[in-house]
Amino acid sequence: MNDFSTRPARPLPFSDEFASADEYVDSLLHFAANSELFQFLCGGVHILDFFTGEPGLFISAVPPEWQPFLLEYEPMELMDLLMRDDLAEASQRSGSRAPPESLLRYVKDVRRLSLRRSFRPDKPRLSVLPRSVALGMKTKKVHEVTHFAGYIDRLADHVARVSGKPLTHLVDFGSGQNYLGRTLASPPYNRHIVAVESKEANMAGAKDLDILSGLAEREKRVRNKKLYHRIAESVDPSLRNDEEALKCAAKALGVTDDEIATIDLRSRKELQAIYTAEEGKGSIDYVVGRLEHADLADVISQLPINEAALKSENLRMMAVSIHSCGNLSHYGIRSMVSNPSIQAVAIVGCCYNLLTEKLGPPSYKPPFSRPTLQPINARVARESEKRDPQGFPMSERLSTYNERGIRLNITARMMACQAPGNWTEQDSDGFFTRHFYRAVLQKIFLDKGVITRVYHTNEPGAGAGAGAGAGAGAGAGAGAEGSGAESPFNSSTNPVIIGSLRKQCYSSFVAYIRGAIAKLTTNADFGQYSQVIRDKIGDITDEEIAEYEEKHRYRKKELSAVWSLMAFSACVVESLIVTDRWLFLREHSDIVRDCWVETVFDYRESPRNLVVVGIKR
Query: Residue 112 phi/psi, 5° resolution?
Result: -75, -20
Predicted confidence (pLDDT) at residue 478 exceeds the cutoff of 70:
no
Note the pLDDT of residue 464.
Answer: 35
Predicted confidence (pLDDT) at residue 367 exceeds the cutoff of 50:
no
Predicted confidence (pLDDT) at residue 617 exceeds the cutoff of 90:
yes
Element at 286 (helix H, strand E): strand 283-288
Strand 283-288 to strand 192-197: parallel, antiparallel, or no bridges (unpaired)?
Answer: parallel
Mean pLDDT across 270-297:
84
d(CA 317, CA 344): 7
d(CA 180, CA 112): 33
Note the pLDDT of residue 362.
Answer: 61
Note the pLDDT of residue 238.
Answer: 80
Q: Read off the pLDDT band of 379 (50, 70, 90).
A: very low
Element at 598 (helix H, strand E): strand 592-599
Q: Which residues pair with 597 in a beta bridge?
A: 612
Higher pLDDT, residue 537 or 305: 537
* Identity of the amino acid at 122: D
Predicted confidence (pLDDT) at residue 607 exceeds the cutoff of 80:
yes
Q: Read off the pLDDT band of 5 (50, 70, 90).
A: low
549 class by beta-carbon count within 10 Å (0-12 exposed, 13-18 middle, 19+ buried): middle
Q: Which residues pair with 599 in a beta bridge?
A: 610
d(CA 383, CA 400): 21
377 class by beta-carbon count within 10 Å (0-12 exposed, 13-18 middle, 19+ buried): exposed
* For the chain, percent of residues with pLDDT exceeding 70: 87
Note the pLDDT of residue 115.
Answer: 98
Note the pLDDT of residue 461.
Answer: 46
For residue 287, how far is the Cα from the chain centroid? 23
Query: Residue 613 phi/psi, 5° resolution?
Result: -115, 140
Q: Read off the pLDDT band of 272 (50, 70, 90).
A: confident
Predicted confidence (pLDDT) at residue 99 exceeds the cutoff of 90:
yes
pTM beyond 0.85: yes
For residue 159, how far is the Cα from the chain centroid? 29
Predicted confidence (pLDDT) at residue 190 exceeds the cutoff of 50:
yes
Nearest residue to 284 via CA among 198, 216, 220: 216
d(CA 504, CA 29): 44
Q: Could you report the per-residue pLDDT of 199-248, keeping only the tens digit for each?
A: 888 888 999 999 999 999 988 877 777 887 888 888 888 877 777 788 88
* Identity of the amino acid at 152: I
Crossing angle between the packed helical segments 425-448 and 527-537, to the nearest 10 degrees? 70
Higher pLDDT, residue 77 or 372: 77
Note the pLDDT of residue 510.
Answer: 96
Q: Read off the pLDDT band of 126 (50, 70, 90).
A: confident
Q: Read off the pLDDT band of 2 (50, 70, 90).
A: very low
Note the pLDDT of residue 253.
Answer: 83
* Identity of the amino acid at 251: K
Predicted confidence (pLDDT) at residue 3 exceeds the cutoff of 70:
no
d(CA 553, CA 537): 21
SS3 285: strand
SS3 606: coil
Q: Read off the pLDDT band of 467 (50, 70, 90).
A: very low
Lowest pLDDT segment from 51-65, 307-321, 347-361 = 307-321
Note the pLDDT of residue 237.
Answer: 83
Q: Edge to edge, what strands does the sheet with 317-325 contain? A: 283-288, 192-197, 169-173, 317-325, 342-350, 610-616, 592-599
Mean pLDDT across 245-252:
83
Q: Read off the pLDDT band of 456 (50, 70, 90).
A: low
Note the pLDDT of residue 490.
Answer: 64
Contact 70, 78 (CB under 8 A): yes
Q: Read off the pLDDT band of 125 (50, 70, 90).
A: confident
Crossing angle between the packed helical segments 556-587 and 75-83, to the nearest 10 degrees? 30
Element at 444 (helix H, strand E): helix 425-448
- For 484: left if phi > 0, alpha if psi spans -120 to 50, otherwise beta; the answer is beta
Q: Could you report the per-residue pLDDT of 409-445, keeping only the tens digit for each?
A: 888 999 999 999 999 988 888 889 999 999 999 999 9
> What is the rounded average pLDDT for all residues in the chain?
85
d(CA 175, CA 203): 8
d(CA 336, CA 332): 8
Note the pLDDT of residue 250.
Answer: 81
Q: Could you report the per-residue pLDDT of 28-39, keeping only the tens digit for each?
A: 999 999 998 999
Lowest pLDDT segment from 73-87, 447-461, 578-592 = 447-461
Note the pLDDT of residue 324.
Answer: 87
CA distances from 284 to 125, 137, 184, 392 (A): 20, 19, 9, 32
Lowest pLDDT segment from 80-84, 317-321, 478-482, 582-586 = 478-482
Note the pLDDT of residue 509.
Answer: 96
DSSP class of 493: E
Note the pLDDT of residue 100.
Answer: 95
Nearest residue to 48 via CA among 562, 510, 449, 605: 562
Mean pLDDT across 602-613:
96
Cα torsion through 143, 144, 150, 154, rounded to 10: 150
Predicted confidence (pLDDT) at residue 504 exceeds the cutoff of 50:
yes
Helix, strand, coil percentages, rounded to 5, for the chain: 50, 10, 40
Note the pLDDT of residue 457.
Answer: 60
Q: Read off the pLDDT band of 311 (50, 70, 90).
A: low
Cα torsion through 536, 537, 538, 543, rounded to 10: 150
